[in-house]
Amino acid sequence: MTSAPVRVFDAALDLLVPAHCVGCEQPHTQLCPGCLALLEGAQPSAARPSAAPPGLPEVYAATPYAGAVRQILLAHKERGALRLARPLGNALATAVRCAVPASAASRALPLLLVPMPSAAATVRARGHDPTRRLTLAAASHLRRAGIPARLLPALRQRPGVADQAGLGAADRRRNLHGALQVPPHRRRHLGRGRIILVDDLVTTGATLAEAARALGEAGGDVLVAAVVAATVKHADGQPG
């Protein structure tokens, strides 16, 4: 639950900087009650892509990537709407809880939430690392629910990886093959909990499969993957 000081601060920001809901354009709020309810009432489910790449772990998504949810994720990721990290992170936490049975989640070993990394140039251009921010919010939500969880930024991108936007499934796999690595100083942490790959979105699964490969080669054992949203397929089989 959001504290009273935070709610007052958010309200003051909305008064000083007139805003529209990023999900539906309702005025005077960054995220209206209806759009917030889409995240808070998310019903996570398995979200394995239809042509899953080899090595992809089981994937669970909080909600489809469509409508207001799509706009909320884009506003946080591309337009720096940082206050959206908490509700999106809470939705990600619900996907994690769906992916990991309650009996397993309550074990002594913590859940190690490993976010998909962004290139340093991309982080500089955006002014923040959106997936890391969502992961921190999700870990905090899980701890408040009594589930030991923490961020483990174990992955790094190798130089020369092209932007994935606009690439088909086969091109994404080729672009990402060997693209991720685990730095030596991170490897000792991999055995200190149960590894959950996390991201804001799954489309073809190529990024998550590459992450699982890199972690496996470094000695990590990926349990499952969890994301905020999964792309919707149209009748022609193409992502929505």
**pLDDT tens digits for range 203-231:** 999 999 999 999 999 999 999 999 999 99
Please determine, for residue 26, whether its predicted confidence score (pLDDT) is greater than 80. Answer: yes
Confidence (pTM): 0.83
In angstroms, the CA 227 to CA 77 distance is 14
CA dihedral 231, 234, 238, 240 (to 10 degrees): -40
**Model pLDDT, residue 107:** 64
Taking only the tens place, the pLDDT of each residue in 49-100 is: 988 999 999 999 999 999 999 999 999 999 889 999 999 999 999 999 999 9
What lies within 8 Å, CB to CB, of 98 at 6+ separation is 44, 45, 60, 62, 226
End-to-end CA distance of the chain: 33
Q: Look up tokens 């005077």; give the residue.
A: 28
Q: Which amino acid is at 71?
A: Q
Residue-level pLDDT at 103: 54
Number of structural domains found in the chain:
1
The whole-number pLDDT of residue 234 equals: 41
- Classify residue 68: in a domain, yes or no: yes
Identify whether 186 is part of a domain: yes
The verdict on residue 132 lying in a domain is yes
Q: How many CB atoms lie within 10 A of CB 73?
A: 24
Residue 9 is assigned to a structural domain of this protein: no
Helices (H) and strands (E) in the chain, counts: 10, 8
- Classify residue 88: in a domain, yes or no: yes
> Is residue 136 domain-resident?
yes
What percentage of the chain carries pLDDT values higher than 90? Answer: 65
For residue 208, give the 3-state DSSP assignment: helix
- Highest mean pLDDT among 12-26, 46-60, 163-177 belongs to 46-60
What CATH number should be reported for the domain holding residue 104?
3.40.50
| CA nearest neighbour of 96 among 145, 37, 155, 34 | 145
22 within some domain: no
For position 159, what pLDDT does the model report?
72
Residue 219 lies in domain = 43-231
Query: Is there a domain that residue 72 lies in?
Result: yes
- Read off the tokens for 95: 């996907």
Has residue 176 got a pLDDT over 90?
A: no
The per-residue pLDDT for 160 is: 62
Instruction: Compute how many other C-beta atoms are within 10 angstroms of the C-beta atom of residue 151.
Output: 18
Select from 46, 164, 168 the least CA-distant residue to 116: 164
pLDDT by residue (tens digit) across 110-166? Answer: 999 999 998 888 888 888 899 999 999 999 999 999 999 999 999 999 876 555 555
Residue 173 has pLDDT above 70, yes or no: no
Query: Is the confidence at residue 240, as pLDDT, over 50?
Result: no
Q: Where do the H-state alpha helices sit in the chain?
A: 4-16, 33-40, 67-78, 85-99, 102-105, 120-126, 130-144, 169-176, 184-187, 206-217
